[in-house]
Chains A and B, each alone.
Chain A
Amino acid sequence: MNYLEFEKPLAEIEGKAEELRAMARADEGMDVTAEAAGLDQKAKAMLVDLYKKLTPWQKCQVARHPDRPHCKDYIEALFSEYTPLAGDRNFADDHAVMGGLARLGDTPVVVIGHEKGHDTKTRIERNFGMARPEGYRKAIRLMDLADRFNLPVITLVDTPGAYPGKGAEERGQSEAIARATEKCLQIGVPLISAVIGEGGSGGAVAFATANRVVMLEHSIYSVISPEGCASILWKDAEKMREAAEALRLTAQDLSKLGVIDRIVSEPVGGAQRDRATTIASVGKTLETLLADLKAKSRDDLVKERRSKFLQIGQTGLAA
């Protein structure tokens, strides 16, 4: 278990309970059952308490937790017959973006998502979930495919943002993001987006301009990272706590602002403590939303999606 900075007191208690049990295993005569159970209970109460009132900055940390289920985990668990389709037909295949045909229940769909990787090797291979222009262009190609064959599109958003690199800029990062957003608005099939971790800026919008956008309870979605915002507006990257607060990047605030349609609850202690339950809840939500959108005509889907985004922001938080 990787403990986050704010989980340290919890780590201590759980550590102590573990130590006691280890001692008991070594020394047969010792009975620690009651004491260890007491500690367990204390830890459990503390976990509930900690996660009940996470600050926005703590949510950022949970959203970026390395043990959180990532796109690949969702695809493996929720979809059958996943058949990856690679490449943008221009330059390369971007490994930061997974995509292909798959079935959600019985329904064939196109699934696209950012994959961050789970250890050093895969993280480097996946470029930490930061797509390059090829990734957006692959997504555009797959959305076109979906549109042509009338398949719903599911996108899983989990990216720190677009990759700030020389090559990415040279190959038209901006244009690729703009075109992907445009494609999201054009396709005449249901488009459902789930923010499962970090929804980082333009890289997220390019996939999440959807008919329905849902967020996991402790995921975030923002125009800029709190660190980036702090270094620009506070001239001090260490003010990320304040920035996270000011940016209103939590699922709860975004729901109040009408930017997202639904929040999917996470198990106590966050998705990283019970990956299977989290993945199952996301799956259930996707299936419900898809069933609801399937009946709509192509025209309605496009129109509804556009007017939804035109309407966003008509009321602020105060309202």
Chain B
Amino acid sequence: MNWISNYVRPRINSIFSRREVPENLWTKCPECGTMLFHRELTDNLNVCTNCDHHMAITPRERFKALFDGGAFAEVEVPAPVVDPLQFRDQKRYPDRMKAAQKGSGETEAMLVAQGEMGRTPVVAAAQDFSFMGGSMGMYVGNAIIAAAQRAVEAKAPLILFSAAGGARMQEGILSLMQMPRTTVAVEMLKEAGLPYIVVLTHPTTGGVTASYAMLGDVHIAEPNALICFAGPRVIEQTIREKLPEGFQRAEYLLDHGMLDRVTPRKDMREELITITRMLLGLSPAIKGDLPPPKPEQAEDGPQGTEEAPAEEPQDAVEPKTA
């Protein structure tokens, strides 16, 4: 029609819409700077396709990739007392909680689920670093206890993905008390003779590292994950000395004997299946993505007839063996 509607307005619109697109659909790898398309990134489990940098992944996304066919049942976690200390720093603790809940869509910093992994019934717990730094308070403690109890009931191994800045300061001494509480949970698994495998992801620090994250039968870390008690900044301030390259990273801990393995995320599921099945004395697993267990299996799966996984898969799995 005229110059304004045909030329100027579309240009203006395109400038604004162009700005929005990259934010939603593209992610810049913080390590190498490559722009990654969202679908490509999700398919690669939030690992940069260019430099293999492992970015954070939510517990839900992780469980979708871990369990057969992405199917799992959430394990209920007993709700703790809200704001037990009536804690207030620059903000009130309940307000911080609400903001974190709104931002993540989750109730708290840990998700517990039960399902099958390579037709092996397991209980898994994953910590969410995006929820108040994954910090360990009463809820996370309750979650780990609930996970251990469920694993004992189901005679299933527990796989725990850790990620946390440490204890949740807003719960003061009660957050500190999660160190012994979660250790009791680990004891329950040990007494029941069940494997407890810890996958340490970036970052796992403070009281979390100094309790359940370092008490596993097997410790596996994701590449380059920061794993420590006191963080590098605190140490630099204390000893006034530059720390070596790669200090407190997964590979460094592997060299210092604190970990069994460092395993890329894409291989994690297969490795967890292999290890748990050997620890449980089961036959080798069928490799590859498996469809979700059949409904009736899903129900009594956890109680686990141990032979079932070895027999079942033939018809169920064929289409997708890797």
Contact = CB atoms under 8 A, between A and B. Distances in A.
Contacts of B209: 174, 178
B32 interface: no
A29 interface: no
B17 to A, nearest CB: 37
B187 A182 contact: yes
Nearest to B85: A248
A89 interface: no
Given A182-B186, A186-B187, A201-B207, A309 B215 contact: no
A261 B239 CA distance: 37
- Most chain-A CB neighbours within 10 Å: which of B85, B241, B243? B85
Interface in B91-144: 138, 141
Given A182-B183, A316-B84, A174 B213 contact: yes
Nearest to B239: A165
A275 interface: no
A319 to B, nearest CB: 8
B281 interface: no
A259 B85 CA distance: 13
Interface in A284-319: 306, 309-310, 312-319
Contact of A202 (B89, B228, B229, B234): B229
A169 B228 CA distance: 7
Interface stretch (A30-38, A72-80, A145-153, A216-224): A216-224
A198 to B, nearest CB: 13
A93 interface: no
Size class of A's contact patch? 35 or more
A105 interface: no
Interface size class of B (residues with CB under 8 A): 35 or more
Given A162-B230, A172-B256, A223-B169, A309 B181 contact: yes
Tell me what chain A mostly uses at the interface: helix, strand, loop, or mixed. helix
Interface stretch (A7-15, A114-122, A229-237): A229-237
B211 interface: yes
B172 interface: yes
A282 interface: no
Interface string B189-219: 0000000000000000011011111110000
Interface in A193-219: 201-202, 204-206, 209
Given A174-B213, A317-B84, A306 B187 contact: yes
Please indicate which of the listed interface residues B174, B180, B213 has the most CB atoms of chain A within 10 Å of its own CB.
B180
Contacts of A155: none
Interface string B50-94: 000000000000000000000000000000111111111110000
A257 B258 contact: no
A166 B243 contact: yes
A42 B187 CA distance: 57
B173 A254 contact: yes
Given A165-B239, A246-B88, A249-B173, A313 B80 contact: yes
Contact of B89 (A185, A246, A306): A246
A246 B183 CA distance: 26
5 contacts: A164-B234, A174-B213, A177-B229, A229-B169, A310-B181
Interface of B: 80-90, 138, 141, 145, 167, 169-177, 179-181, 183-184, 186-187, 206-207, 209-215, 227-230, 234-235, 238-239, 241, 243, 247-248, 256-258
